Structure 1
Amino acid sequence: MLQILSITAPIFVLIAIGFISSRAGMVSREQIAGMGKFVISLALPALVIKALTERPLHQVFDRNYLLAYGLASLAVFWLGFAFSRWVRKDSLSGSALSGLGMSMSNSGFIGYPIVAMVLGPTAAVGLALGMMVENLLMLPMALALAEAGDQRGAGVGRALLGTFKRLARNPIIIAISLGLLLSLLEIRLPAVPRKAIEMLAMASAPVALFVIGGNLDGLKVGGLFADVAQLSIGKLLLHPLAVLLCLLVLPVQDPALRVAAVLFASAPMMSIYPIIGQRYGLEGRCAAALVASTVLSFLSISVFIGGCTDGSACHPRP
């Protein structure tokens, strides 16, 4: 428990620093929005390129892992989307972001440290496989739906055309395409651009968490309980349970990888979730859901770790 707390505590410290800085007037709302654009336009794309180019794809490829994790994530995404769209009567963009929040984990900044603590080196393989599902399937699909919902007043054809045009200019999509191409061709970046990309990638987590805290200042919690409850339950319970169920149908040979998949899925939603929501005017809802799910994830992840440590596949790191 103390080891997990040592991982999650700095996250809350950075969020608190952002909140206090905004409340004290050290940064303005415009500056916080600018930092959010920095993360989404530069730091996060650098992180994606770094994750996809660190090793050749064939070294980490596991078909059943990808299928199980991908199918489970898709099932939870569409469940969340349908519930938001047709039960709660949310907008297309809001429903897409709800589905994304329930099905895409904070793999790099919360999931990986915890899985590495439990499984050791196997965590890096699970991270690479999970990033392929998240960056090549879940994120582009959610962004496409959210962009389509943002094409207000346009016909279906014009909305689709506008969506694809905007996606083609989206820094995250460009980074995914570039990173995948470099990885497939096994091209190693020269030292200078590789170091620059690593430095930008390192900035994504702290700046994103600072922005989350800043967006919490002045956040009206009224009317957000239903959103927070749906996203937290979907992300912390439904997603890992769906992954576990899919792994029963599509078994992975390495038992440690099976544990890694469930633990990655049990992590809260990605830290840049509110920054993506900022593009559609939903940063308040997304920030509240992220903070709540991150707090609750300490309990849910502890339960999943406690369950997996009873088996021989899950063993403490030496």
Structure 2
Amino acid sequence: MIEVLESLWPLFVLIVAGYYMQKRGFPGQAFWPGAERFNYFILFPALLFKSLATAPLNDPALPRLLTAVVLALAVCSAGLLVARRVHAWPAARFGVMLQGTLRFNTYLGLAAIGGFFGKEGLLLAAVMLALLVPIVNVMAVLALSAGRDTSLKALLLPIVKNPLILACLAGALVNQSGVEIKWGTDRLLALLAGSSLPLGLLCVGAALKPGELHGEVGALVTNSLTRLLLVPAIAFGCAVIVGLPAIERSILVLFFALPTAPTAYVLTRQLGGDSHLMAGIITLQTLLSAASLMLVLILVV
């Protein structure tokens, strides 16, 4: 338990610090949008590219890991579709519930995995991201656009322009080509990657909106507990079914135990979803994950 606590508390200190920095206007309100964009388009892609370019893509456990990822997504998606039918959710609400259940905070996830599992964990997490990011993004757009005419171009353009997806593809291509990253490029990527997660966690804190935690308490709590406790239990079951080794199983469960992504709020607003509910879910899940991630790690590691 002490090891888990030591791995997690620094991450949440940065999140809390980001919240209070933004609240007090330090270093300025204009800083946070620029910092988030710089991280999203430059620093974080550098981290993903570097990780995938050196990842052991010939690892025999990888096909089983990716199979478990797809199986867990399929089970969760089926449950969401049943819940939508039962509750008759419109697209504006269904898209929020889906994002609250399936999207994940990549900054917190990679920081936690890197702190607990080291470089090997980061490599496996990067491979998972290469599969999860495009699938979950497509599902989110489809859910928020249900019932509307959505062209293939409108659906795919945000995906093919996503810097995280492009970085994953580029890293995988370099990996398979056998090209060696040298002449200082590896050091440059390491410097950029090392800056990404601390800045990302500060931005997560700055994006929290405690003022949105009112109104639909039942929906907020139900969605948060589903994401933070039920979904990782489903992921664990899928990992057991496909026979994942211990480390891969723990990383899979941890990834599916993460709070939802702060960027879900932006997509929800762009596509006319219930942004008030989305902001509340993001905030509540992030706050509760300080305890739930510790519980999940203690149980599965």
Scaled by the length of structure 2, the TM-score of the pair is 0.80
C-alpha deviation, 1:166, in angstroms: 2.7
Is the contact between residue 74 and residue 103 of structure 1 (CA under 8 Å) also seen in structure 2?
no
- 2:291 is the alignment partner of 1:296: yes
Give secondary structure in 1 for the equivalent of 2:243. Answer: coil
C-alpha deviation, 1:246, in angstroms: 2.1
- Over aligned residues, Cα RMSD in angstroms? 3.4
C-alpha distance 222-191 of structure 1, shift in aligned 2 (>3 A): farther
C-alpha distance 243-149 of structure 1, shift in aligned 2 (>3 A): closer
- 2:55 is the alignment partner of 1:55: yes
Match of 2:262 among 274, 279, 286: 274
- Counterpart AA for 2:138: A
Q: Deviations over 1:26-64 (max 9, x none)?
A: 244443222221222122211211221123411464332
The unaligned stretches of length 5 or more in structure 1 are 117-122, 309-318
C-alpha deviation, 1:274, in angstroms: 0.6
Residue 140 of structure 1 corresponds to: 134
Between the aligned partners of 2:62 and 2:210, the Cα distance in structure 1 is 45
Between the aligned partners of 1:204 and 1:10, the Cα distance in structure 2 is 15
- 2:169 is the alignment partner of 1:167: no
Is the contact between residue 76 and residue 234 of structure 1 (CA under 8 Å) also seen in structure 2?
no
Is the contact between residue 60 and residue 129 of structure 1 (CA under 8 Å) also seen in structure 2?
no
Q: Deviations over 1:44-102 (max 9, x none)?
A: 21121122112341146433233123312332245346646873445264344223237
C-alpha deviation, 1:149, in angstroms: 6.2
Between the aligned partners of 1:243 and 1:276, the Cα distance in structure 2 is 21
C-alpha deviation, 1:24, in angstroms: 1.6
Between the aligned partners of 2:104 and 2:79, the Cα distance in structure 1 is 9
Is the contact between residue 68 and residue 247 of structure 1 (CA under 8 Å) also seen in structure 2?
yes
Match of 2:279 among 284, 301, 309: 284
Q: Where do residues 1-318 of structure 1 align in structure 2 (5 Å cutoff)?
A: 1-59=1-59, 61-80=61-80, 83=83, 87=87, 88-91=89-92, 93-101=95-103, 106-114=108-116, 116=117, 124-125=119-120, 127-136=122-131, 138-148=132-142, 155-156=149-150, 158=151, 160-216=152-208, 219-223=211-215, 225-252=217-244, 254=245, 256-257=246-247, 259-261=249-251, 263-265=253-255, 267-269=257-259, 273-281=261-269, 282=275, 284-285=279-280, 287-301=282-296, 303-305=298-300
Q: Deviations over 1:192-235 (max 9, x none)?
A: 33222222222222112211222225632113634542443233
C-alpha distance 139-61 of structure 1, shift in aligned 2 (>3 A): same
- Counterpart AA for 2:52: L
Is the contact between residue 82 and residue 95 of structure 1 (CA under 8 Å) also seen in structure 2?
no
Is the contact between residue 8 and residue 294 of structure 2 (CA under 8 Å) also seen in structure 1?
no
Give secondary structure in 2 for the equivalent of 1:64. Answer: helix
Is the contact between residue 67 and residue 250 of structure 1 (CA under 8 Å) also seen in structure 2?
yes
Between the aligned partners of 1:142 and 1:129, the Cα distance in structure 2 is 18
Between the aligned partners of 2:130 and 2:66, the Cα distance in structure 1 is 12
Give secondary structure in 1 for the equivalent of 2:55. Answer: coil
C-alpha deviation, 1:19, in angstroms: 1.7
Q: What number of residue pairs does the alignment pair up?
A: 292
Q: Deviations over 1:159-186 (max 9, x none)?
A: x212222322221121121111112223
Is the contact between residue 135 and residue 176 of structure 1 (CA under 8 Å) also seen in structure 2?
yes
C-alpha distance 103-288 of structure 1, shift in aligned 2 (>3 A): closer
Is the contact between residue 210 and residue 283 of structure 2 (CA under 8 Å) also seen in structure 1?
no
- Counterpart AA for 1:251: G
C-alpha distance 224-109 of structure 1, shift in aligned 2 (>3 A): farther
Between the aligned partners of 2:233 and 2:77, the Cα distance in structure 1 is 13
Identity %: 19
Between the aligned partners of 1:184 and 1:85, the Cα distance in structure 2 is 44
Between the aligned partners of 2:262 and 2:228, the Cα distance in structure 1 is 17
